[in-house]
């Protein structure tokens, strides 16, 4: 295990929940799922959806308070949860989160690379190096480091499922989002390569492009009055997705054996909104 580098936070186990009784097991019974950025928003929604399908969970989350709140919700569902406070924009943070998960559960079956940051949204000519690199570290390198660290454990379990995150910001080339868009398309490319390399090992690798009413989206929309309403009018299904019911449940499908013949794909969870799908 690589030690923390100078200036990097030392990952710590924040909490370990205990399993309850009387849970009606679902599609992910006895599966172990590691989710980055599970403290709020889409990550929280996925965590709840997977727990309701019977999975035990591990979080890699930079914010200890949001991690505690989501962990308490998982415990209330009768599932086990390990929450590791770390920075997924560092190799040591990702490797430590995987190691803590394996120590607690004995392995990993599902990896959800949800954590992301758009460190700076600005015209191309105004983007600075440091926020560009931070966006790449959290989004691209974090996904890469988690995939590398989880790979031997997935192989030892006979395979598993990885779900990575793309974005319509990339496929539609949204102005002021160069760094984030570049990161998300890099992740989709990594997804396809990994699906080809690891398929014979029973490891399925897919990506999703979600549109969800997360805290981040609501905060962004508050800066532009009426944005959410205009957005909903452009979505054929007429609403912005719910983090758990619309995004989490679809991810639970990709994580489950129901999707055992699905790999190398991008699933668009956007209510039909995407104007450019490549």
State the CB neighbour count (10 A cutoff) for residue 124: 9
Rounded Cα distance between 60 and 217, Å, is 21
State the CB neighbour count (10 A cutoff) for residue 17: 20
Query: What does the chain come to in residues?
Result: 278
Q: Is 273 a catalytic residue?
A: no
Task: Please count the CA atoms within 13 angstroms of the CA of 123 that sit on its side-chain side.
Answer: 2
Catalytic pick from 21, 180, 231, 273?
Answer: 180
Indicate which residues carry an active-site annotation: 180
């Amino acid at each position: 295990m690589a030690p923390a580098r100078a200036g990097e936070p030392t990952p710590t186990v924040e909490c370990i929940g205990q399993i309850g009784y009387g849970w009606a097991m679902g599609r992910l019974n006895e599966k172990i799922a590691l989710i980055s950025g599970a403290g709020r928003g889409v990550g929280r929604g996925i965590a709840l959806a997977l727990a309701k399908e019977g999975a035990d969970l591990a979080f890699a989350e930079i914010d200890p308070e949001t991690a505690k709140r989501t962990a308490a919700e998982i415990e209330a569902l009768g599932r086990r949860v390990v929450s590791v406070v770390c920075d997924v924009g560092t190799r040591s943070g990702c490797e430590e989160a995987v190691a803590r998960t394996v120590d607690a559960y004995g392995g990993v079956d599902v990896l959800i690379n949800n954590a992301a940051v758009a460190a700076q949204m600005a015209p191309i000519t105004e983007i600075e190096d440091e926020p560009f690199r931070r966006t790449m570290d959290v989004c691209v390198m974090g996904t890469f480091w988690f995939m590398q660290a989880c790979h031997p454990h997935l192989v030892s379990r006979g395979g598993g499922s990885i779900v990575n995150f793309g974005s319509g910001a990339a496929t539609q080339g949204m102005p002021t989002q160069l760094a984030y868009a570049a990161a998300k398309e890099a992740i989709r490319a990594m997804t396809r390569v990994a699906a080809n390399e690891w398929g014979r090992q029973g490891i399925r690798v897919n990506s999703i492009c979600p549109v969800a009413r997360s805290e981040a989206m609501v905060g962004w929309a508050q800066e532009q009055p009426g944005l959410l309403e205009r957005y909903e009018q452009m979505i054929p299904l007429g609403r912005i997705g719910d983090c758990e019911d619309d995004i989490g449940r679809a991810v639970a499908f990709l994580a489950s054996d129901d999707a055992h013949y699905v790999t190398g794909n991008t699933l668009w969870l956007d209510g039909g909104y995407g104007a450019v799908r490549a």
